[in-house]
Structure 1
């Protein structure tokens, strides 16, 4: 059986020492026994171009970011903006993606939904239950909950399901997927007169 290659794109502003790195560290034990995982830290190597070859080789992706003013990190925003010309190409088409978001208290769910939408538009597939938001507020609630009252709060324990579903999705035959037509001219050209 093919051992999938997963590209983990860690985009937190804290780099290798931040909460996004810690969130990814909780996910890796669920992936590494079953896949070859390559880690990219955008704080250390920003932009899209340096990672194009790794994207091409990957069978699946994990994007990890914090929540900053109700959006993803500026590193991830830049990466996605520079990735625009690759929409609908083999870099993305049909490759499953998981999204992990950290947030202090609020705003993470909108970041998760936005990133899953962007990935689907680029051409990636979004497996069921392949994204979550871990917040400081939820962790405090979980630590103080009793009698299952925190079961509906996402936690790092839920990463097992996210990673499982991502790995299952790598077994899908992507060869039948098709992309819609995309304007491949310079996306940064001036079009408003």
Structure 2
């Protein structure tokens, strides 16, 4: 099994997306051969076409930049347009890992998965996640009360489901989900929320 792990972030090897991709590569290497590349080091689609052609599945990581993926990844996708619907993509499972400082990451995840599906790729169940700085701070402060927020450990679920799809299996896993009262009111009237330093 050949996996291609592509860091599409602007930060490259020094960015947060690289750390998240590290976790995925570490998990995948126990089950497959993983090739890794960075658009910050080698921009453009042509530099990675051969690796994409030889892979059974793909992991793409990106940061969030003004509610979108990186300009490097946008350029990659634009240049890849002529390969839409070809064996480079058709039926290949793709996992997506997104980092963000506070907001916008879920929109990036959903839209990027949609673009990849249009290229012809297969999106596994629970095949992507968003890790945010705000979420990590909340998890560190609130612990179990943040059960419904993605964490680094959820990368194992994403990677397991990616490999299951690549092998033609349906033995999927799910991450932990808060099954309490989703309609419970959590915003109180009158005044700022505790711990919020912003005025207005």
Q: TM-score range by the shorter chain?
A: 0.7 to 0.9
1:110-121 alignment, distance < 5 Å: 110-121=107-118
Please point out which of 150, 153, 156 is paired with 1:154.
150
Aligned length in residues: 169
What are structure 2's unaligned runs of at least 5 residues?
Answer: 170-200
Higher relative contact order (CA 8 A, sep 6+): 1
Deviations 1:149-191 (A, max 9, x none): 1110001010010000001111129xxxxxxxxxxxxxxxxxx
Matching of residue 83 in structure 1 with residue 80 in structure 2? yes
Matching of residue 142 in structure 1 with residue 139 in structure 2? yes
Mark the structure with the bigger radius of gyration.
2
Q: State the distance in 1 between where 2:154 and 2:168 align.
A: 23
Aligned-pair distance for 1:40? 0.9
Q: Check conservation: 2:5, 2:25, Cα contact below 8 A.
A: no
Q: State the distance in 1 between where 2:161 and 2:27 align.
A: 11
Please point out which of 163, 167, 175 is paired with 2:159.
163
Please point out which of 19, 22, 29 is paired with 1:22.
19
What corresponds to 2:196 in structure 1?
Answer: none
Computed over aligned residues only, the root mean square deviation of the Cα atoms, in angstroms, reads: 1.0
TM-score normalised by L of structure 1 = 0.86
Q: State the distance in 1 between where 2:124 and 2:168 align.
A: 11
Aligned-pair distance for 1:15? 1.1
Matching of residue 172 in structure 1 with residue 168 in structure 2? yes
